[in-house]
Structure 1
């Protein structure tokens, strides 16, 4: 009787292990037939704001961003081209899902650091995921010593933290759309009428014109009040930007028109003063060059 019971238990155990092996093999099959969406956007930015794309593992992006003066500044200022702000940045892919970056802006002499993590990727088949989701967090430090800026007394007061959930869907080979709920916390608001916490929602997208070019649009909405509490100085406005992307192998050129002088979240979400209706339009561009430190992969964003 004991021998029969032992044999039965061994058979059950063997069947359980066999079932586990079959399930593992089935998972592998499902993964192999799942179709993942690629190149929802051409780069890690839509225009001003980040896209769901991340830099691939062991790849580094060097980004040069320019923002010229306002078009309505007149011929004497060459319609804004006589003045410019610049941001230099390095972005590195620790994995195909996780990237980090650091940048320095001449506007307000701001240093920013950030991290992005690709949580979900749009797919169809056995793994059906309707959207791609990327998490974003940054810290920006206003290091300006100009007397025209409101004074900061400590390093901690200079910090502004931004947290975003980037949600995008590639509807077709040509059309991609993204929503970006945002929470920004300023340790010290630079205006008395600004709240420390600022809530915003971005709506952006691209329409692919050719294999290597696309038309982009981006709008950042920040309500003047949230839950009955004023959020921002009345002179600040929402940011609307129009752009044109050109991808040439390892380079991505982004040309755009916007009513924001700032090039990071702290600036274009909470400190935009320009109005399209008044001609406060700034011409700008981003140039991205990718360097690969992984010989097995080409230098591309993980979404390409």
Structure 2
């Protein structure tokens, strides 16, 4: 291993990616014309698992994210996402960093949601409803608590132990936190919503508040979904639907199964550039499917923090 290379575990990777710095890195990636993100490769594996290879590069760094996604690990104590993000220096060809893949995925996804919420959420103090108490539920709690004036969180999960643990973490951060059994019933009370489930079934189908911001991150293939067609349609006809990247036009199962025109929906980049603007009223849906550029942003942030 070259002397300049570091191999970081989950804790060390998280320490290199504080959310305020990560949000700034996301903005910078979207403004950088040197950023290139080739199409990711997804290989189906026996038993329903998948192998993902996601490259990206800019003028200084090149990364390759290699992860497995194993839905059958849900509830077993083993993470659904495992793997690494390898960071190379383009000028020398040397490997600079090896980051923990699940940590990068969780933190950059939550940071993207928080970045969208900072612009689109009408009531950023919450209450925040989190559906799903796994790695993405935790990262979204942390990202929203670190970057929004959040005061209260409500947590729904199929696993009671995980929900209670996430509620305890929220209380440690000074937030009011409750575990709830019916997430649909909470839509009338929560203007901030995050769905971060394995996306093997619809978890929200009631109508959202008129001032709601919903970040749906669990479904990232055409066959997956967390939101009902009616809820997606309500957002499309109300405050609007926003995509995390152009790739979501081919991957957002919630929207595709609702029969919505994905080609019409603006991206986060358009929002931040000001070329597309939020509508005045109705619930807003931010649909996130993941993009290699977000992993590049995390790599850049990790290098800077070093």
TM over 0.5: no
Q: Which has the higher strand share?
A: 1
Hey, which of these two has a bigger chunk of helix by percent? 2
Normalised to the residue count of structure 1, the TM-score between the two structures is 0.23
Q: Give 1 or 2 for the bigger CA radius of gyration.
A: 1
TM-score, normalised by the number of residues in structure 2 = 0.23
